[in-house]
Structure 1
């Protein structure tokens, strides 16, 4: 065998090893509830959509990844949509802060629509690609895509606090069951995972809604997550995941942020 042939063979092996190494890093270094960047069908997401679950594509976590058993799913076969146009309103509310959080928090509609009665420093974000609008703190922008293009992650700089919204057009019928199944995987994949609760809750008149609350270690800090998955109708399921540093969970910023998110969320056609 010539030296040139041997050299090409060695080069091919080096390239193959590099590719395998990159895939391993990609698979195990993500931020999602399961700690993986792209977990596909069984990944963990940050919200409980048609199949709630946490998984992530880049640094994100999918909120609706529990297959057909829950409210919203990040499974590409469950009707992922390409990321569409996003716009943020320029106005901000002048009202006072919302009430403190807790189980069942932010369960009503905001009278007059998402823009009515916003706290100071909030603006309505409309995401046509993932079919929703919601009020978020001004300065929040889309910093990543969740799962396999299942949703969008919003924050100031890619850190915490953050809001993730996932969408599916094939929602399941039991959000709590979907979260419970997904939690089994997330427990093993997320460093320092501690489950707080998985509860069926009332949220507007949606047919199935469940909250999944847990803590984990992420980006070098202790993070607390509330992941709400729900089915709006036969064609729309969502997961809204709120993540904050655990020691700031009951502080005014994170409490107001999650209350306003649940109060002002509006599904779009």
Structure 2
């Protein structure tokens, strides 16, 4: 685990799965619109970017999932970036990244992460 301001990083020892929790005290009112705007600005930074989906999900007050893949040396990474509004003054990004070939086998772990996530009080 590594902390950097409002971000906490978790890296799989000896593997390449990665979890980032990013906290903000200035939530955007519409997580889907926020991800769409960020997608336009960021997709150029992901080689061979491909959107899988970008949609609202039922999670806390408001949330949206932005799922995509991109090229890395030796393959593709698969990412789920969940934007979550937990209160009028608190939001989180839950960024989960795995090699594309491990995406399906990592779903149980991702469900555990999202089911056990609790915002700071």
Give the equivalent residue in structure 2 for 1:261: 113
1:223 pairs with 2:82: no
CA shift for structure 1 position 186: 2.0
- Correspondence 1:180-191 to 2 at 5 A: 180-191=36-47
- Correspondence 1:65-76 to 2 at 5 A: none
Question: Distance between the aligned counterparts of 2:93 and 2:118, measured in 1?
Answer: 12
TM-score, normalisation: structure 2:
0.90
Q: Name segments (4+ residues, structure 1) moved above 4 Å.
A: none
1:232 to 75, 78, 86: 86
Query: Per the alignment, do residues 158 and 199 of structure 1 end up closer, same or farther by CA in structure 2, a change over 3 Å counting?
Result: farther
Is there any run of 5+ residues in structure 1 with no aligned partner, and where?
1-141
CA shift for structure 1 position 143: 4.4
2:52 to 190, 196, 201: 196
Is there any run of 5+ residues in structure 2 with no aligned partner, and where?
none
| 1:165 partner SS | strand
Give the equivalent residue in structure 1 for 2:32: 176
Compare CA radii of gyration and give the structure with the larger one: 1
Question: Distance between the aligned counterparts of 1:180 and 1:221, measured in 2?
Answer: 25
CA shift for structure 1 position 248: 1.1
Cα deviation code 1:124-178 (max 9, x no counterpart):
xxxxxxxxxxxxxxxxxx1464xxx331110124852111100011111110001
Give the equivalent residue in structure 1 for 2:68: 214
| 2:104 partner SS | coil
Query: Per the alignment, do residues 230 and 171 of structure 1 end up closer, same or farther by CA in structure 2, a change over 3 Å counting?
Result: same
Question: Distance between the aligned counterparts of 2:19 and 2:73, measured in 1?
Answer: 16
TM-score, normalisation: structure 1:
0.42
- Tell me the matched-pair count: 121
| 1:255 partner SS | helix
Query: Per the alignment, do residues 167 and 173 of structure 1 end up closer, same or farther by CA in structure 2, a change over 3 Å counting?
Result: same
Cα deviation code 1:179-228 (max 9, x no counterpart):
00111122212111111110011114x1x210000001236441000010
Query: Per the alignment, do residues 219 and 257 of structure 1 end up closer, same or farther by CA in structure 2, a change over 3 Å counting?
Result: farther
